Chains A and B, each alone.
Chain A
Amino acid sequence: MILDTVVYGNVTLFNLLMVTVILIIAVVIAKGVAINLKRSLKDKVSREHLEIIVKAVNYSIIGVAVLLVLPTLGVHPSGLLVAGGIAGLVIGFASQSIVSNLISGLFLMIERPIKIGNAVNIAGTAGVVEDIRIISTTLRTFDGLYVRIPNEQVFTTSITNYVAYVARRVEYVVGIRYSDDADKAIGIIKKLSEVHPLTLKNPAPDVFVNNLGDSSVNIIVRIWVPTTEWYGVMMELLWKIKKALEKEGIQIPFPQREVWFNNELKSREIKNSNSSDPGSSNSTG
């Protein structure tokens, strides 16, 4: 038969035909997997990164198929593997951290604990996420610095995402004098929150006496605001509270300590002795 015709070595025309068919099937499978991957990850991974993932998967499938058909063509990859074993080991060790960052990057893109534009704190570095790349994540800190964090560190450390939810709470502790009316102060603070357009009606603000401190009656103020407005409201409201309280005669006291003496003060003794002396008109106090 014509298919049994030897082309070279032990490779026949049938072997070549089989190799061609296997490679075509591999290409079709790779294409199908790529399309499905694109569909399923479309909403989870950015377009740029999705292209990289899809290409990597595509070429990996074709690569495996090529390795499978090589023996049919008379080439034995086991020999190649032995020859490349040492080199592979060296490259493997050298690229350990890169692979680790790459895999972490893939998981970050799928899990998406952070998104581009989010205000976050990663491993103690706070800022806005500028980019999430396959190997690293970049932040722009609030004081304008560029910070690159390897994805392995991002993935394994704790992440605080300040804007993950739509509402966030502003919290203050306001101390007033013991002689001031705490109910009146609470009323003033609640009113301020009520008239502020960017504080939320629901959840309702919590304002209450939280602690009877050494120098002041401490009122805790908890007000919910839209997350996007948190910083602005937080900065604005505290000073407004201070001014409104002072306007109503309620003051924020300095730290103070009342000292009681067991014995009468020496100065008082001197004063008393002076006042009992009829010849003395100037008191030393």
Chain B
Amino acid sequence: MFGYYDVPLGIAKEGISLSVKRKGEVLLYRRECVDEKVEKILLASTEKILINPIEPLNKPKELTSYLLIEFEKTLVVEPGATQKIYVTYPVEIGVFMSGDKDFEILDIFTLIKQKFTLYGDPRSGVICKYWRSEVYSSKPSINLLHEGILELSITNTNTEWVEVTKAVFNAYGMKIYYSDDMVSMKATMKIVKGKSAETDFVDSPLEKGMKKSFELYTVRTLSVTATKFVMEVGI
């Protein structure tokens, strides 16, 4: 599903129906998935279409840049230890068309249900995209159109045992990679001062040969100043 396509194209997979057809001088883009139907007329000389996983913060509305992953089971991390775990995260799919210099976003869709949550209190907290995940000790086998694999390296710099129930990430710092059978990211979580932690992403693939996703914030030329997130009100 993910990769570069020449126009015209037609894809039908797992309830997704996507096509770009020439109609005279213009291109007709059609996409259907999960009760959502999108039709666009492209007045462009686009020859290439790129479909790849993007940061999961655009559907149903772009309300936040933070992703909160709640773990099914609480993790207990020993003092001074660095442990590697695998969790899942929601996948959103971006369709890009080639422009003069770069790729331009054309459509975004997802096959999974969306939910938001609040990290912190209503006064000073942040709205986060919510996702609940099992915790795995090795790479799980999952549907790449639904979920991605996040390799999370947790370091406990405290001198006491720490319980971890969730992780919050700044989605603008995400470095997403994909292959034919996996969508992945790598992140770190450094637990400092008891109940607070700092999370960040690592720009490297989970396996050799994986391709890097075209990140959405680059396309939108947003000024990204920070990719880290400091979890100050509980982990």
Residue B101 lies at the interface, judged by CB distance under 8 Å to chain A: no
Known contacts A166-B125, A195-B113, A201-B130, A224 near B63 by CB under 8 Å: no
B118 touches A197 (CB 8 A): no
0/1 string, B62-91, CB within 8 A of A gives 1:
011000000000000000000000000000
Q: For residue A165, which residue of chain B has the nearest CB? A: B122
Known contacts A167-B127, A201-B130, A229-B63, A224 near B113 by CB under 8 Å: no
Known contacts A167-B127, A228-B63, A229-B63, A197 near B116 by CB under 8 Å: yes
22 A-B residue pairs with Cβ-Cβ distance under 8 Å, sorted by A, are A165-B122, A166-B125, A167-B118, A167-B122, A167-B125, A167-B127, A197-B60, A198-B60, A198-B61, A200-B117, A200-B118, A201-B115, A201-B116, A202-B118, A202-B119, A203-B118, A224-B122, A226-B63, A226-B64, A226-B116, A229-B61, A229-B63
B123 touches A165 (CB 8 A): yes
Complex interface: chain B residues within 8 A of A226 (CB): 63-64, 116, 127
Q: How far is the CB of A161 from chain B (nearest CB, A)?
A: 12
For B117, give its contact among A165, A168, A202 (CB under 8 Å).
A202
Q: A27 CA to B63 CA in the complex, in Å?
A: 49
Complex interface: chain A residues within 8 A of B17 (CB): none
Complex interface: chain B residues within 8 A of A203 (CB): 118, 122
Complex interface: chain A residues within 8 A of B122 (CB): 165-168, 203, 224
Complex interface: chain A residues within 8 A of B61 (CB): 198, 229
Known contacts A198-B60, A229-B61, A166 near B127 by CB under 8 Å: yes
A200 touches B125 (CB 8 A): no
0/1 string, A224-240, CB within 8 A of B gives 1:
10101100000000000
Q: For residue A195, which residue of chain B has the nearest CB? A: B113
Known contacts A226-B63, A229-B61, A229-B63, A197 near B114 by CB under 8 Å: yes
A200 touches B116 (CB 8 A): yes
Q: A226 CA to B128 CA in the complex, in Å?
A: 10
Complex interface: chain B residues within 8 A of A195 (CB): 113
Residue B126 lies at the interface, judged by CB distance under 8 Å to chain A: yes
Q: A274 CA to B171 CA in the complex, in Å?
A: 84
B60 touches A224 (CB 8 A): no
Q: For residue A228, which residue of chain B has the nearest CB? A: B63
Q: How far is the CB of B66 from chain A (nearest CB, A)?
A: 11
Q: A255 CA to B63 CA in the complex, in Å?
A: 41
Complex interface: chain A residues within 8 A of B119 (CB): 202
Complex interface: chain A residues within 8 A of B63 (CB): 226, 228-229
Complex interface: chain B residues within 8 A of A198 (CB): 60-61, 116
B118 touches A166 (CB 8 A): yes
Which one of B116, B119, B123, B125 has the greatest number of beta carbons of chain A within 10 Å? B116
Beyond A166-B127, A226-B127, 6 extra complex contacts between A and B, CB < 8 Å: A198-B116, A202-B118, A202-B119, A203-B122, A226-B63, A226-B64
Complex interface: chain A residues within 8 A of B64 (CB): 226
Which one of A168, A199, A202, A224 has the greatest number of beta carbons of chain B within 10 Å? A202
Q: How far is the CB of A166 from chain B (nearest CB, A)?
A: 5
Q: How far is the CB of B78 from chain A (nearest CB, A)?
A: 28
Q: Which of B103-127 contact A (CB under 8 A)?
A: 113-119, 122-123, 125-127
Q: How far is the CB of A260 from chain B (nearest CB, A)?
A: 49
Complex interface: chain A residues within 8 A of B60 (CB): 197-198
Complex interface: chain A residues within 8 A of B118 (CB): 166-167, 200, 202-203, 224
Q: A197 CA to B63 CA in the complex, in Å?
A: 12
Complex interface: chain A residues within 8 A of B125 (CB): 166-167
Q: How far is the CB of A48 from chain B (nearest CB, A)?
A: 23
0/1 string, A184-219, CB within 8 A of B gives 1:
000000000001011111110000000000000000
For B115, give its contact among A167, A197, A228 (CB under 8 Å).
A197
Q: A200 CA to B126 CA in the complex, in Å?
A: 12
For A197, give its contact among B113, B126, B127 (CB under 8 Å).
B113
Pick the 4 closest A-B CB pairs, nearest first. Answer: A197-B114, A201-B117, A167-B122, A202-B117
Q: How far is the CB of B91 from chain A (nearest CB, A)?
A: 16
Q: For residue B166, which residue of chain A has the nearest CB? A: A202
Which one of A166, A226, A228, A229 has the greatest number of beta carbons of chain B within 10 Å? A166
Q: How far is the CB of B109 from chain A (nearest CB, A)?
A: 14
Complex interface: chain B residues within 8 A of A199 (CB): 116
Q: For residue B120, which residue of chain A has the nearest CB? A: A166
Q: For residue B125, which residue of chain A has the nearest CB? A: A166
Known contacts A228-B63, A229-B63, A166 near B126 by CB under 8 Å: yes
Q: How far is the CB of A200 from chain B (nearest CB, A)?
A: 5
Q: How far is the CB of A231 from chain B (nearest CB, A)?
A: 14
0/1 string, A33-63, CB within 8 A of B gives 1:
0000000000000000000000000000000
